Amino acid sequence: MNRKTAWQISFHASAELHNGGPGAHRAMTTVARSSRYRRQSDTGLSRMEIMEGAALCFEAHGYSATSIDEVAARIGSTKGRVYHHYASKAELFLDVYRTGMTMIFEAIEPYLEAELPAVDRLRSVLKAHVLCVIRTKPFQNVVSQGVDMLRHGTMPAKEHAELAHLARLRDAYSDHFLTVLEQARAEGAIDYRNIKIALNSVFMCINGPIVWFTPRDNQSLEDIDLLAEECVLYAIRLLGVTDERPARTHPRPTHEGATA
Amino acid sequence: MNRKTAWQISFHASAELHNGGPGAHRAMTTVARSSRYRRQSDTGLSRMEIMEGAALCFEAHGYSATSIDEVAARIGSTKGRVYHHYASKAELFLDVYRTGMTMIFEAIEPYLEAELPAVDRLRSVLKAHVLCVIRTKPFQNVVSQGVDMLRHGTMPAKEHAELAHLARLRDAYSDHFLTVLEQARAEGAIDYRNIKIALNSVFMCINGPIVWFTPRDNQSLEDIDLLAEECVLYAIRLLGVTDERPARTHPRPTHEGATA
DNA sequence: ACATGAACATACTGTAGAGTATGTTGTCAA
DNA sequence: TTGACAACATACTCTACAGTATGTTCATGT
C-alpha cells in the first residue's frame, strides 16, 4: 500500500522547496532522522512533509472529510506537529493550494517565452502542464478543490487575504493560456468559436489526469511521456489542429549545475 | 438569490419522476399546498423535492460538508422530513446519485440505436449528454462526486449493495460510448491511440459544464443549445473529425401525448 | 366520527473532530 | 553547562452535526 514510483512527488526528500523560508537549501539527500525531534533549520522540510500527507488525504476524501489526525497519522505523527506549523486546517489547505499553483507555474514558465510559432509554444506549455499534473497529482487535485471553493464562495473564510491572492494567481495562469490561444488564432494555426468555452475544454482535457490517472508500478518515464503526449494531442486537436508532430520540451529543466 | 431559468431542473414540479413508486403520475402542475402536511400519495414528489435541495447543497460544499439541516432549510423544512424519507445521509446521497444516472441514461437512450453512421450517432449522443448535464447540473455534480468516492474507496459504506449497483450502471454507461467509438473508428471516421485515454478526454470535455457552466438569466434555450453544440464540436474534433456539421437531435423527446 | 398511520416538526443524545493547553525532548547560542 | 526556545507529543475542551425519540397534524379507509 501507498507505493510510490520514482517519478512521483516526494518533495520533502528532494532539493526543491517551494516555500522559500529557512531550510530551503538543506538536505540534498534524505538522512535517516537520528532523533525523535527535528532541527530548527529543517522546518521547511517538515512543512513540506506535512503538506504531502495533507495533499494525499485531501485528494482521497476532500477537504472537510479529512481530519488533521488522519493527516498526522499518514506521516507517522500527531496533531501537535501539524498545529505547531499551521494555525488551522484552512491554512494548511491554502498552503497546499499555493504550493500546487507554484509547482505548475514553474513547470510551464520556461516555455512561455520561447521564440516559436504560437501553436508550438502552446504544445510545449500543454505538455509541461500535463507532466507536472501527473507528477504532482495530489497537489493539483487540491488546487482543483480550491478553485471550486472559490467558485462557490465556500471556504473557511477569515483568510480572505491569501484567498484573494490565490484567485489572482489562478487568473494569471489562465491568462497565459488565453494569450497563447489568441496568438495562435491570429497566426491562423487554430480555430475556435467562444474562446472561454474553448479554453475550458482544453483545461478539462489537460487536467483530466487529475481525475482518471492511476499510477501503475510497471510504467516507466517513457510511458508517462507518451501518455502526456496523447493528452496534449487531444487538447490540440480540439482546437482544430490536424498536424500531429509532438511537443518540444527539454528533458527536464535542471536546477543543479552539478556535473553528471 | 437562487434564481432559476425555465430550462433548469425543478422536477418536483414536473411530471417526470424517476423513482417510480406511488405518486409518480401525479401533479402535472404545481399546486400551492393547502396544508402543512402532504398527502400520502405524494411521497414521490416529496422525495424529489428533498433530492433537489440535497443536490444543490452537495454541489455547493460537497457531501461531507453538507448538513441535513442545511438541506432541510433549503426547501423550507426540517430534519424530521428528511429522516422520514431517508434512513441516513448516505442513503439520500445515493438516491440523488442514482437519479442523476437515470436522468442522463434516459437522455441518451433514444439516440443509441439510431440507424446512422457511428460518428453521427456519436454526435447525437454527445449532444444529448451535454444538454442533460446542463439542465440537471447539480445532480450530475453529485454523480461525479459519487464516481470519485467509488474510485477512492471512500463512502459511508454499509450500503455496499446499492453502491455496487451504481458502479455497474456507470460502467454500462461508459461502455455505450466505448462501443460507439470503436464502431466509428472501424468506419474510419475517427482516430485515436489509446481508447481509454481518448474516452476519458471526451468525457472530460462533455462533462466540463458540470464544473464551469454558470446559468445566466438572460440566456435562452437557443443559447444553451449553441453552447452544447460547441462542447460537442470540441469533443468530436478531439477524435480527429474535421467535418463540422452539427449534431442531429430531436427537439426534446416528449413523453406527453397531449395536443399543443 | 373515529381510529390508524403517514407526514412531518420539535426536542434530545452521542460523538467525531477542530482547536487548545500543557508536558516532554532535543538543539543551539552564549 | 545551562537555559531558552523550537519541535514535537499528550491530554483536554467544545461545538457542529448525524441520528433518535417523541410529539403534532392531517388524510383516509371503515
pLDDT in tens, A235-256: 999 999 988 878 878 665 444 4
What is the domain class of A11-28+38-237 according to CATH?
A: mainly alpha
B119-124, long-range: CB < 8 A, 24+ apart: B119/B184, B119/B187, B119/B189, B119/B190, B119/B236, B119/B241, B119/B243, B120/B247, B120/B248, B121/B180, B121/B183, B122/B180, B122/B181, B122/B184, B122/B190, B122/B236, B123/B232, B123/B236, B123/B246, B123/B247, B123/B248, B124/B247, B124/B248, B124/B249
Per-residue exposure over B134-146, b if at least 16 CB sit within 10 Å of its own CB, e if not: bbbbbbbbbbbbb
B242 touching A, CB under 8 A? yes
Q: Which of B62, B201, B234 lies nearest to residue A208, judging by beta carbons?
A: B201
Give the CA-to-C1' distance from A67 to C15 in angstroms. Answer: 14
* B194 to A230: CB separation less than 8 angstroms, yes or no: yes
Gap between the Cα atoms of B90 and B146, Å rounded:
11
| B224-248 residue pLDDT tens | 999 999 999 999 999 999 888 788 7
| Kind and range of the H or E run holding A118 | helix A118-135
Which set of grid coordinates corresponds to residue A90? 484552512
pLDDT tens track for B147-163: 999 888 887 667 777 88
Identify the pLDDT of residue B9. Answer: 77
For the segment B97-106, what is each residue's pLDDT rounded down to a tens digit? 999 999 999 9
Lowest mean pLDDT among A10-24, A81-95, B91-105: A10-24
Q: For residues A212 and A227, give the distance between their C-alpha atoms in angstroms, rounded to a whole number.
A: 12
Measured distance between the N- and C-terminal CA atoms of chain B, rounded to whole angstroms: 33
B57 touches chain A (CB under 8 A): no
pLDDT band, very low/low/confident/very high, at B260 (cuts 50, 70, 90) = very low
Q: Do B242 and A239 touch (CB under 8 A)?
A: no
Q: What is the mean pLDDT of chain A?
A: 86
Distance A142 CA to C18 C1' (A): 20
Task: Select from A154, A194, A237 the Cβ nearest to the Cβ of B240.
Answer: A237
Read off the pLDDT of each residue in B197-207 and give the average, rounded to a whole number: 98
Is residue B112 within 8 A of residue B176, CB to CB? The reply is yes
The more confident residue out of B109 and A32 is B109
Contact B125, B177 (CB under 8 A): yes
Contacts with B153 (C-beta within 8 Å, 6 or more apart), sequence order: none
- The per-residue pLDDT for B27 is 34
* Whether A60 contacts chain B with CB within 8 A: yes
The reply to whether A37 Cβ lies less than 7 angstroms from strand C is: yes
* CB < 8 Å to B234, chain A: 197-198, 201, 238
Is the CB of B230 inside 8 Å of chain A's CB atoms?
A: yes
Dist. CA A228–CA B51, nearest whole Å: 39
pLDDT given at position B5: 79
- Per CATH, the number for B11-27+39-237 is 1.10.357.10
Q: Is the pLDDT of residue B253 over 70?
A: no
pLDDT at B32 over 50: no
The predicted structure's pLDDT at residue A100: 98
Which among A206, A252, A234, A6 has a CA at the least distance from the CA of A106?
A: A252
Mean pLDDT on B163-170: 89
Residue A63's SS3 state is: coil
Q: According to the model, what pLDDT value does residue A176 have?
A: 98
pLDDT band at A167 (very low <50, low <70, confident <90, very high): confident
Distance of alpha carbon B133 from alpha carbon B208, whole angstroms: 9
* Greater model confidence, A6 or B134: B134
Say which nucleotide is closest to residue B82, CA to C1' distance: C8
Q: Which residue has the higher pLDDT, A242 or A182?
A: A182
